[in-house]
Structure 1
Amino acid sequence: MACVLPQEAHHDFTVIHTNGIHPVSVRFCGCNALLDNRKQLLRNMWFPATPINPQTVTTFSCLRQFQHFNCLGKLPAYDYYRGLQIMTESAQRTKVPDRYPVFLCSVVQWRHLKMCKRGGRGHAATGINGTALGELVVECPACPHPGKNLPTDWDRASPEEAFLYTMFFAIDANFRLRNRVVSNEYRSPILGDGWAYLVPSIPYREHLENYVSEREMGSCSGFAAMFLANLRNVTGLRSSGVGGVCCGRHRFWRKNGLGDLQEGERYCNIDFIFWCTIQGEEYLVIVISYDISCQWSINFWKRMADLDPKFNVKFTPNGVRFMVPKFHLRAHQTKCHTRFSFDYAPGCGATHGEVIEEGWAQSNKAAAQTKEMGPGSRAMTLDDIFGFHNWLNLEKLDQVLAKRLVNAVKEFEIHYQDFIQFDSGLEKTLGRPLLDEWKEKVLRWEQDHDEECPYEDESDNDKAQFKLRQLELLEDEQSALKEGVSGYASSPSGFIVQGIELQEAQRGVALFLVVNKTLTRTQQLDLAKRRSNLMKRLSEFRRSQDLLMPRLSQVISDDEMKHITDPDHSCPEKVPLYLPSDIPRLADRIHACVAKLPRIEANLREAEAQDALEGGILGSTRAAGVLRQIDIRIHSRKIRYRIAREALLRLRGCGKWEEALKPLLDEDVRRINERALTKEEQREREERIKRVGVEPDSDGEEFLIEEGIVSRVRGEGKRRLSWIWYRPDVSEDDPEFRDAICVEWCKSRARLQRWREEVLLLTEELGRMTDYALWKAEWWFQRFVGKEGMKGADIDPDLAEGLNSYAWQQANFQSQAAEQTLDKWGELTKHARSVLARNANLKTITVDVEDGEEEKLGVEREAEEDI
């Protein structure tokens, strides 16, 4: 029925839709005074840019489309609007009015309102104003949430089961999400400040005002990521980056877990962000993965107490554990490699701690557009993007966890069999009491890291002969000075060390040129820097050489002397150094050098050779820990073993004896703590050798590293011991070998324990997903109109119907999710528990872990005792 009181809209009323920007003639209905123009537009699914006398609207479908394109593909608003503009003008051949600022305003409001709607704030009696901090986030359903997906007695769990309720956090800083000083909070206000992923701005700003002069954190890490912010120009920036916290196993961004950084990665920033995300939470154990945990953990409790005096009450020092992500750990100092390692941390399973890097990879695509935004637009955009990221994770989380569980069960079975055979072999050789002693050593270290570490081979540290010999020579020089013996302006031992290290640097440049025969511009720049550094070091070396080899010019030819007086600056890696060992005749050597210099070089060269033999230098890419003669002994017996086994096979035929005397492959002949190459690594190794045209050395050491190539390698968690070590011949006269066996036994046990924990954690997480979905379904049912704390029955009937319909829809989604998770993965979790329980005669099951991909999981064996 036509309206009897139509009201003309603005004469140039504009509609922004998915197919263009259109001028439209609009008439509002004036019959119902309660139904104002804004409501009429919203009922037509047109979003008005202003509540009073709207002149421009954007259709819901257009806003929804842009929101998805922006969150997924990071398409900037300008590019999207410009595309609509060009599409319209090319079709109509007329210029459309500029409504870009209006479109931006509509997008910010749309993001905010949709986030509040999904959080159920439209149902609450207090409305949007009653929203709590962090309430609008998409939570991780697999993480522990007391009162939502945990049993009622979870806080009284036994020490053996308490790790199942551990909360894992991953912390990191991102210096790409910068923001320039554009606009201000008056022109671009923050909507819903602190309601989702960003920390509340006002308390955060007040906190930072107390730390204006604080410098950024130091680190022992070779990555030195925290220093990058200072290396770049920060002038004109409101924010030099973003610090973030996500759950450490599933990559869900945490509530109030993101905050701007001003001057690098400072304690005050990371402390406040972490405190915000755990404020009000209750956990038995917290595990924090942070690439500079070794520094951040120092004085952690004092800084947290300054933020919240109750923090120490909620979380005890035993309840908070600091780890370094696995990839970052190797760049840290040696002392960090075990103390902060996930591989040796009880209760951590196969957690690697690097998930936050994967999250940054998605958000970094929005760096260019958010850099030029005002405070409000940027905050709303980041909240929306991180929320969309969480939602995408949620949609596929059950399949991801199921696929991990399939892999974890397989890895557990592999490492169970490996450890059982290794353990039983050592028991026959060394006896159970010694193995129990090793186990007690591990347990003591797990309780107190100041105890002797069972995962470190002390012989490795003690046998660094080159460094020990340096120390001895320096002590001798100091003793001589104390006794009144005149010294030299440059230390003799320091001069030799300087020369040896300079030779190593020259070899590095020469090897770089062999590997990279055709240089890119980046490689050319790198080569120029390395050669320039070589020339500086060479000049310093020559100054010391003038003092300690004053008569060198008398024992070398004029042509050789030119290398000293006029070196080739274009190829410093080819310039001879003329150390004492480079002078052939003994008499000339004595004449050229100050007293004892040749003897000092001889001592250091001997130590250098010993280190090279024991894997200290030539084996820098290999896990060190076993003496060289062990490897030689194995290789010398390889052929003998094969001949004997072939003869035995001809004499006896196939039989049970083959379980102990397996075929000896080349890859089986490796050091006790050396892992086997994967197929991908073997293929890459062959391709690199073929490209470069040289063979690796006789020990199989690979130094052929090309820029831009990162080999796929297995870490400690998946390393397997070669079967030849299952029954090692351990002699009382070889304590270093026994120590190496102890370290490997402890590591093998740790790998088994971590995979066992991973299976238990994943089965628990899949169960928690079901429980969380059921809780969320009930939560939505409690949002119905008339329920406690919700809007009453006196509201508009049409509004009540819409609120109830939306709540019922969301509750139904959650109920279906719980049912589907249980139906799809119930059999898998049951099978995984049976594997851990060592049940006999398990059958093979087939699970659909990915669309179009099926994987069989079967373990068939007799019942075995628990370890």
Structure 2
Amino acid sequence: MKQWLENDRQNFLKEFLRMEGYGLEVQTACGICGERRHEYQCTDCFNGQRLCLECMRGSHTSHPLHKIEKWNGMFMERISLKKLGVRIQLNHIPSERCFNPKRAFNDDFVIIDSHGMHEVALDFCECERAPSHSIQLLRARLYPATGTYPKTAATFKVLRQFHLLSFESKCSGYEFYNSIVRLTDNTGSLSRVRYVEFMRMVRQWRHLKMLKRTARGHDPRGIEATKPGQCALLCPACPQPGINLPPGWESAPSDRMWLYTLFIAIDANFRLQRKRVSSDERDPGLGNGWAFFVDETPYKDYLVQNWDHKQDRSTCMSHDAVDKPDREARGLAASGAGTIDCARHDFKRPNGVGDLQLGERYINMDYLFFSSLQGSKLKTLVVSYDIACQWHKNIFTRMKSFPSEMQLSESVKYIAFLVPKFHLPAHIEDCMLQFSFNLTKGVGRTDGEAPERGWASINPVAQSTKEMGPGSRRDTLDDHFNDWNWKKIIAFGERMLSKIQEAVPARSEHRQLLKEFEASVPPSIIKEWTTAVNNWENDASQPSPFKSKTKSISEREARLQLAAEAAKEVMSGPNYDHMSHPSVMIANGLQLEDDQRRLATDIADLGQHPTTKQLTEILERSNLLRRKIGIWTDEQILHMPQAAPERMKHSRKASPDGVTPTKVTNMPLFLPSALSKIANVDKALCAFEWKLREGQAYDALEEMRHVLRLRTHMYKHKDRFSQGVKANTRSNVAIVQATARINRSAEKYRAARAALASLAPGLELEHPMWEYALRKLEQDDIRGLSEGLYGDSEGRRKPSWIWMTYGVIPDDGDDPALNEALRIEWCRARARAKRWDEEVQLLQEEMQRILAFLDWQAEWWERQGVSAFSLDAATMRGMTAYAHRQASLRRELRDRFSMTWRNIPTFLQWDDSVSTPT
């Protein structure tokens, strides 16, 4: 760029200006005939040479929409080919001459193309065999704005261009049309005289393309024979009975039936709103219920009949979709949209989309759920929904209110209701175990978040669709959903390869981790744990092996235990009337240490300009804490005389002149853990501090986990519902307060663990494995259950160890808390290994289904090419050619995918040396 600025910028600008002129004076001859004066130039032709009038007309009979400029003696001005005498001649058979021609002249016809709007002189053929004017335009690849006496048309090219542009950039029709207007005349002299016509053509174009691509033009019964959902592109990787499943799949053994599971995901989007514009009577859909949106009439009838149905309140967290389903929809005809997606491959499912009228109510989502599964013959289903723990209750009772054809088939033998992985941390602990994808067998590495990825693509369209009428909006969204599905289909080759390249090494890694874990545990214990987890997986009513049943000891419980021991000593030992028991002294020291941390944090939070009130409050707290420490120090010396000389040394070092006192937050307390390495401290005192520090560490971890869960919920709530400065500020303040609590808990834990590490060498611990349960806390470890490290992929993300610590360090040789911690850790390691193993198997099965689906679809298209029609030969040839082209496209995709996946069997062999998880 620097080189261009220095060497080329000036020259490029000169060339731009040179093009505005007439050219060299000596070059006055026409660029074609070389005889007449060249006054005309085409800005759309490649070389842009100057021509005379006759040559310009002659060379543009096949390019009547090019832009022409004429030299007026001063500058080049725009002039249309119509003014130069060029007329567009339409033949009813473009490749043949029209004998005995009769013409209908239209000198005010407007054609819209990608270069602008053109007023043209158009001649329609009026011979006896001539078709209607609209058909003549279509055969010239001009789309008419109306079928009766059209005066406006758009080129196929510009409609195709806008069609693709709307998919990729989410450009609205209004914006695109304005760009066409400005290309025509950028002075603002043109009005929106053809905007309505253009949008009508766009909508019809979308609809016809959908019908064409789903072979609805090949049906002898006609377009009206289209069945619900027939125009929606199906997912080739999902199990489709009779299409891509192996023969006899219905009788597959139970250990393989899970491979034929249909994974679906439910969600609602409140950005896909629609204002109260138009109505179904004034703006009906062109194909109601033919693609993704459900048929409006039965859907609305069902809603009217069940509108007064009351939902039970949530027994989990306060989910607004459950407790407040009737969210405000003022001024809106649709408050959003609900969808049913393929949970593993992110496809929108046929007849799985519908408008929401007043929030996310069960009656809406139930209808979409059963509509999407209508006619399914599969035996196993996995249903993902962010409120599945509440929604699945009484689902089969509610199903009875639907027509028999919409109810689930009797072939369905098993349904698992789960919560998407990202949404799960906002639920209570029982839900995290019962509705977890990570802990449920037969789901692989499915995350259930497919709708969220789809929303990211469709949300930019909401800005234009919210202003549309109901029919236009449904047609537009159907078109975008079909394009989304098509892009997923053509990306399957690289996408599935990438997934299996990730899954196989991860399976090997987690298998090895499980083997290393089991090597340190007696086989009898592994057998016991395996039985427990298998029982729970087969029957959810059995006790969950992932749930802790032993409560960790708390600091309060430790103090109570020590107080009881002190009371026993008072009864049988020396008299402590003149002072408190040593354990109480140490407990008070821990409290003072915590007060110091809190005061230091509050001082740091004051900012650069604290108020007088804040300074006064901090000063009073500092003075009070200093007095408490002084009183406690006098008592400490009686039990720990070793602390006095160390305190004196510190005082001299901190204040050599004896004037500047040490800050109260920095005053050392010299507890046993601080003196154990430099002085001979009574082991009884060390043991007292050990027990208190242990409880303190567990308390800090529990508080940290609790607040992290709250913060995760706050982030989710902020992202979904906080709009505007006021709401975002309120959410940010709550998140900052939660983060401060998390940091205080982390500091408390680190101090407790450092003290434990200092005390451990001097104590005879029966179970020195305390470091396994209370590990070193790094900053990266302080994260929510669903949070991974920066750069971690979803499949490789592992929970921080703080979520896997249960139980306490045992006091004797047989401690149930330690056994429970090991059991839960083993269950989670086993679940990770199992899910990766299932993912590899699912991916292999899905790749086979994709190839089988494309083979089936190619044969299906070839059958459409020989349908029994009584049409003219030219139309039949076109229909046959299109069917064969579609069949060839599917086979090309199949061959491309097969080539991309050709080395996968070899890639899988290297993993055979790793044992299968138990």
TM-score (norm 1): 0.70
| Distance in 1 separating the partners of 2:517 and 2:906 | 29
Partner of 1:858: none
1:130: how far off?
A: 0.8
- What is the match of residue 162 of structure 1? 257
Q: Which residue of 1 aligns with 2:798?
A: 719
Question: CA, structure 1 residues 607+709, in 2 after alignment: closer, same or farther (shift >3 Å)?
Answer: closer
Distance 1:455 1:518 in 2: 48
Distance 1:516 1:346, change over 3 A: farther
Give the Å deviation of 1:39. Answer: 1.3
Matches of residues 582-621 of structure 1 in structure 2 within 5 Å?
A: 610=696, 612-613=698-699, 615-618=701-704
Task: Work out whether residues 568 and 575 of structure 1, in 8 Å CA contact, stay in contact via their aligned partners in 2.
Answer: no
Tell me whether 1:457 sits opposite 2:538 in the alignment. Answer: no
Q: Report the Cα offset of residue 583 of structure 1.
A: 8.5
Secondary structure of the corresponding residue to residue 885 of structure 2: helix
Per-residue CA shift, 1:203-243, capped at 9, x if unaligned? 10000002223456755676846389879752221000001
- Deviates most, 126-135 or 232-241: 232-241
Structure 2 match to 1:4: 100
Give the match for residue 810 of structure 1.
886
Other structure's SS at 1:82 match:
helix
Are 2:383 and 1:288 aligned? yes
The number of residues matched between the two structures is: 679
Q: Does 1:148 align with 2:229?
A: no
Q: How does 1:517-596 map to 2 (within 5 A)?
A: none
Q: In angstroms, what is the RMSD of aligned CA positions?
A: 4.5
1:615 alignment partner, SS class: helix
Is the 1:611–1:617 Cα contact (8 Å) retained in structure 2? no
The equivalent residue for 2:896 is 820
Aligned mate of 1:772, from 853, 864, 877: 853
Give the superposition deviation at 1:518. Answer: 11
**Is residue 57 from structure 1 mapped to residue 153 from structure 2 by the alignment?**
yes
In structure 2, the residue matched to 1:749 is 830
Distance 1:810 1:744, change over 3 A: same
Of 444, 459, 464 in structure 2, the residue corresponding to residue 364 of structure 1 is 459
The alpha-carbon deviation at position 825 of structure 1 amounts to 0.3
Q: 2:469 aligns with which of 374, 383, 386?
A: 374
**Displacement, 1:717?**
6.4
- Tell me: CA distance 1:517–1:568, structure 2 relative to 1, closer, same or farther (3 Å): closer
1:800 alignment partner AA: M
SS in 2 for 1:47: strand
Deviation of 1:441 after TM superposition, in Å, equals: 0.4
Q: Are the equivalent residues in 2 in contact too, given 1:6–1:27 (CA < 8 A)?
A: no
Asked if 1:740 is matched to 2:821, the reply is: yes
Q: What amino acid does structure 1 have at the position aligned with 2:278?
A: S
Unaligned runs of 5+ in 1: 471-503, 520-562, 587-604, 641-667, 675-696, 839-860
Matches within 5 A, 1:316-335: 319-335=414-430
Query: Does the 8 Å CA contact 2:327/2:359 hold for their aligned counterparts?
Result: no
Give SS of 2:164's match: helix
Task: Please give the per-residue CA displacement for 1:80-114, whole angstroms capped at 9, x wherever unaligned.
Answer: 001101110138x9636711011111111111111
Question: What are the equivalent positions in structure 2 for 1:662-741 lying under 5 Å apart?
Answer: 671=772, 711=790, 718-719=797-798, 732-741=813-822
CA distance in structure 2 between the partners assigned to 1:508 and 1:268 by the alignment: 51
Q: How does 1:205-224 map to 2 (within 5 A)?
A: 205-214=300-309, 218-219=313-314, 224=319
**Maintained 8 Å contact 1:718/1:751:** no
Write the distance in 2 (CA, Å) between the matches of 1:577 and 1:218: 48
- Partner of residue 479, structure 2: 384
Contact in 1 for aligned 2:325/2:361 (Cα 8 Å): no
Aligned to 1:17: 113
8 Å CA contact 2:693, 2:753 repeated in 1? no
Corresponding residue of 2:876 = 800
Query: Structure 2 vs 1, CA of residues 274 and 608 (structure 1 numbering), >3 Å: closer, same or farther?
Result: farther
Q: Deviations over 1:361-384 (max 9, x none)?
A: 111101110111001110111001
Higher relative contact order (CA 8 A, sep 6+): 1
Give the secondary structure class of the aligned counterpart of 1:125: coil
**CA 1:297 to 1:575, structure 2 compared with 1: closer, same or farther past 3 Å?**
farther
Measured at CA, do residues 156 and 703 of structure 1 come closer, stay the same or move farther in structure 2, by a change above 3 Å?
closer
Mapping of residues 620-659 of structure 1, within 5 Å: none
- Name the aligned partner's letter for residue 349 of structure 2: R
Q: Distance in 2 between matches of 1:43 and 1:21?
A: 20
Pairing partner for 2:445 from 340, 350, 359: 350
Q: Residue in 2 aligned with 1:547? A: none
**Structure 1 residues 514 and 367: alpha-carbon distance in aligned structure 2, compared to 1, 3 A threshold:** farther
Determine if contact 2:511/2:915 at 8 Å carries over to the other structure: no
For 1:288, what is the secondary structure of its paired residue?
Answer: strand
Q: Quote how far apart the aligned CAs of 1:580 are.
A: 13
**Are 1:78 and 2:174 matched, yes or no?**
yes
Within 2, Cα distance between the matches of 1:341 and 1:270?
Answer: 21
Please give the secondary structure, in 1, of the residue aligned with 2:460: helix
Following superposition, the deviation at residue 392 of structure 1 comes to 1.2
Superposed CA deviations along residues 487-532 of structure 1, whole A, max 9, x for unmatched, are xxxxxxxxxxxxxxxxx9x99999799689799xxxxxxxxxxxxx
Task: Indicate the residue corresponding to 1:684 in structure 2.
Answer: none
Contact 1:621–1:701 under 8 Å retained in 2: no
SS at structure 2 position matched to 1:243: strand
The answer to whether the 8 A contact 2:237-2:846 is kept is yes
Mapped pair 1:831 → 2:907: yes
What letter is aligned with 1:272? Y
Q: Distance in 2 between matches of 1:314 and 1:633?
A: 63
Change in Cα spacing, 1:355 to 1:421, as seen in structure 2 (3 Å) is same
Q: Does structure 2 retain, via aligned residues, the 8 Å contact 1:180–1:372?
A: yes
Please say if 1:447 is aligned against 2:538.
Answer: yes
How much does 1:734 deviate?
A: 2.1
Task: Provide the secondary structure at the position in 2 that maps to 1:149.
Answer: coil
Preserved CA contact (<8 Å) 1:21 1:96? no
Which of 337, 340, 356 aligns to 1:245? It is 340
CA distances 1:35-73 after superposition (whole Å, capped 9, x unpaired): 221211110011111111111111111111111111221
Matched, 1:181 2:276: yes
Larger radius of gyration: 2
Contact 2:283 2:472 in 1 (8 A): yes
Tell me how far 1:196 sits from its aligned partner: 0.3
Q: Is the 8 A contact 1:612 1:618 kept in 2?
A: no
Q: C-alpha distance in 2, partners of 1:518/1:387?
A: 57
**Residues 34 and 771 of structure 1, relative CA distance in 2, 3 Å threshold:** same
| Alignment check: 8 A CA contact 1:464 1:616 kept | no
Structure 1 residues 614 and 86, CA gap change in structure 2 (3 angstroms): closer
Residue 841 of structure 2 corresponds to: 760
Change in Cα spacing, 1:780 to 1:443, as seen in structure 2 (3 Å) is: same
Q: Tell me the distance in 1 between the aligned counterparts of 2:434 and 2:783.
A: 31
> What's the CA shift string for 1:227-261, capped at 9, x where partnerless?
89879752221000001111001100000111101
Q: 2:511 aligns with which of 382, 407, 416?
A: 416
Cα distance between partner residues in 1 of 2:501 and 2:619: 55
How many angstroms apart in 2 are the aligned matches of 1:155 and 1:575?
77
1:441–1:454 Cα contact (<8 Å) kept? yes
**Code of the aligned partner of 1:826:** R
Distance (whole Å) between structure 1 residues aligned to residue 138 and residue 304 of structure 2:
43
Instruction: Tell me the secondary structure at the aligned position of residue 903 of structure 2.
Output: helix
